[in-house]
Amino acid sequence: MFYVLSKILGLLINPIVWILGLLIAAYFVKKSHLKKLLTIAAISCLLVFSNKFILNELLTKWEREAPDDGALLTQYDYGIVLAGMVWYNSETGQINFLQSSDRIWQAVRLYKERRIKKIIIAGGAAEFFAKDTVESVLLKGFLVKIGIPAEDILTEENSRNTHENAVYTAKLLQNHPHSNLLLITSAMHMRRAELCFQKVGLNCDIYPADQYSGSRRFGIEDLFVPNARTLFNWNAFIHELFGMASYKVAGYI
């Protein structure tokens, strides 16, 4: 129930939905002063949520920074990579990698450098309405194709969200209680993921990947010109804030 409700609410916390909703309301209302207020609100939302500078300043405070490799252990028993980085084209049979796929590439690099012995990919159904498409299995198949031995890749295939990533990974590792673990996920997502894994008794070092925040050097266009990509990134950030709040209420963190 929590999973389904979170998916539905997730659709409603998109800034683009808010902007469209305000514009639609402004079109249909009869009172001129209310129409004007709704229009101003829509334009204000567009300017705020498309402003690269504002979002970047917030994300530099929120995202966890990737550590220098020298600060890591010499070797970890398992590198735990959280899924949510691909979509599967059933017509072509191809895996399409999203921005967050930097998670898996960092894990591959660390494996190749012998910083982690084995890779655990945690994630079940890749799509809400395609429950037979298991993302961890898809990713394992891809990694095997590019030369990583199948025996060095473990899959957790049941989870649908970060809480379940942690719960099912803990079950997978229940016979290896003293393993050194490295948690690899997006920098924006790392705060919630780390708390979820701590909640189930897995204390991991962290390796944040694919940071959304960038350089704090800005030009005029970053300060004043609306940026379409920033709208997408705001959606991801608000989704993460909503996730933290709802997980706290549910007792997952």
Same domain, 35 and 141: no
Collapsed DSSP state (helix, strand, coil) of residue 160: coil
Same domain, 41 and 126: no
Query: Per the domain annotation, does 214 fall within a domain?
Result: no
- Whole-number pLDDT of residue 10: 66
Same domain, 47 and 74: no
Pairing assessment for the beta strands 76-82 and 116-122 based on DSSP bridges: parallel
Query: Per the domain annotation, does 45 fall within a domain?
Result: yes
Taking the model in full, what pTM does it have? 0.88
Among 61-65, 74-78, 194-198, 211-215, whose mean pLDDT is lowest? 211-215
Same domain, 123 and 184: yes
- 185-222: per-residue pLDDT in tens? 999 999 999 999 999 999 999 999 999 887 666 777 77
Same domain, 20 and 113: no
Q: Tokens for 39, please give them.
A: 């229009």
- 19-48: per-residue pLDDT in tens? 999 999 999 998 999 999 999 999 999 999
Same domain, 82 and 167: yes
Same domain, 59 and 75: no
Instruction: Centre a 10 Å sphere on the Cβ of residue 195 and count the other Cβ atoms it contains.
Output: 17
Q: Tokens for 45, please give them.
A: 């939302």
| Alpha-carbon span 51 to 210, nearest angstrom | 20
Query: Per the domain annotation, does 155 fall within a domain?
Result: yes
Query: Per the domain annotation, does 59 fall within a domain?
Result: yes
| Alpha-carbon span 44 to 29, nearest angstrom | 19
Query: Per the domain annotation, does 221 fall within a domain?
Result: no
- 225-235: per-residue pLDDT in tens? 888 889 989 99
Same domain, 89 and 59: no
Q: Domain of 128: which CATH number? A: 3.40.50.620
Name the residue range of residue 233's domain: 2-63+226-250
Residue among 161, 143, 142 at smallest CA distance from 152:
143
pLDDT band at 6 (very low <50, low <70, confident <90, very high): low
- 159-182: per-residue pLDDT in tens? 999 999 999 999 999 999 889 999
pLDDT band at 3 (very low <50, low <70, confident <90, very high): low
Same domain, 57 and 113: no
Residue among 8, 20, 9 at smallest CA distance from 231:
20
pLDDT band at 224 (very low <50, low <70, confident <90, very high): confident
Same domain, 76 and 53: no
| Alpha-carbon span 111 to 63, nearest angstrom | 24
CB 123 within 8 A of CB 159: yes
* Domains contained in the chain, number: 2
For residues 128 and 191, which has the higher predicted lDDT (pLDDT)?
A: 191
- 109-120: per-residue pLDDT in tens? 999 999 999 999
